[in-house]
Structure formats: structure tokens, C-alpha cells
Amino acid sequence: MSSKILYITRRAEFAASHRLKVTGWDDNANSIAFGKCANLHNHGHTYTIELTVAGTPDETTGMLMDLTELKKLIQEHIINHVDHKNLNEDVPWLQGINPTAENLCVEFWKRIQPYMPAHVRLYKIKIWETENNAAAYKGE
């Protein structure tokens, strides 16, 4: 039996708006901290999520996991809830969370981790907010 640990990554995109703010700060302080993302009327991005799983490939198929199944999990448990939404207002499980790319990584992890097949482990979630800015989370 193979003991190689391999990794596969699936990417997906979604479009969403948000307003980054710290409750209790005035608009000027939020603007200084978060720039355009503190816009009173929200600010949008086309996000890219990269979800990486790790495990030992099946000896017969050579596959760690069917990428179509990983795509379905991402779509069902994340994308369907956030695509074309206001992350501050339209997503119940993001309520009360400042929707930074960093916080989205953590919340997406919590959201999808329970649905991972037993033979793989969620290794990393990376969120690209722009083509130049990304955050990643590898769990606790």
C-alpha cells in the first residue's frame, strides 16, 4: 500500500460585494484601515477560491479524489451561498464577521470541512480577492 501523501487543488470563482468595517469605528477610521473596501455602498470583487485536499491516492485509480466530487462540494457548500451576494447581509453564516479574505478562508473552512470524504483531509483554503491579493488558511 502506498504511503505517499499527495495534494490536489480545485479552483472556483464567485462574485460578491462586501463592506469591510469595524463596528464602533467612524467612517473615516474604517476608510483609513480598509480603503475602497470600506465604501458605504459596498465594494465588489470576483473572488477565486482554491481548495486543497491531501491524502493517499487510491492504488487502483491513482486518484486522491474525484475532482468532479470536489467541485460539487465547493459549489454546494460555499459558492451557492456567496455568489452574487452581499457578504455582510445576505449570507446568514457570515453575519457578524468582517468579510476580509482572511476571515472568509476561516469561515469557508468551517463550512466545508464536515463534508470532506473520510479518505482525504482538507489541507488549505486560499481566497484570491484580486489577482494580486490572497489569503490562505490551513486549519488549526
CATH number of the domain bearing residue 54? 3.30.479.10
Amino acid 20: pLDDT: 87
Q: Of 13, 76, 84, 89, which one is the catalytic site residue?
A: 84
Amino acid 40: pLDDT: 85
Q: Of 18, 37, 45, 105, which one is the catalytic site residue?
A: 37
What burial letters (b/e) apply to 7-45, b meaning 16+ CB within 10 Å? ebebebebebbbbbbeeeeeeeebbeebeebbbeebeeb
* Burial class (CB within 10 angstroms; exposed 0-12, middle 13-18, buried 19+) of 86: middle
For residue 1, being part of any structural domain is answered with no
Q: Of 45, 105, 107, 129, which one is the catalytic site residue?
A: 129
Tens digits of residue pLDDT in 97-132: 999 999 999 999 999 999 999 999 999 999 999 999
Amino acid 2: pLDDT: 54
Of residues 134, 116, 115, 2, the one with CA closest to residue 58 = 2
For residue 116, being part of any structural domain is answered with yes
| Residue 3 or residue 123, greater confidence | 123
| Residue 53 to residue 96: CA distance in whole angstroms | 28
Residue 131 is among the residues annotated as catalytic for this protein: no
Residue 69 is among the residues annotated as catalytic for this protein: no
For residue 84, being part of any structural domain is answered with yes
| Residue 36 or residue 86, greater confidence | 86
> To the nearest whole number, what is the mean pLDDT of the chain?
94
Domain count within the chain: 1
121: Cβ–Cβ under 8 A, 6 or more apart, which residues? 53, 54, 55
pLDDT over 90 at 73, yes or no: yes
For residue 55, being part of any structural domain is answered with yes
> 80 is in which domain, residue-wise?
6-137
pLDDT over 90 at 25, yes or no: yes
Residue 37 is among the residues annotated as catalytic for this protein: yes
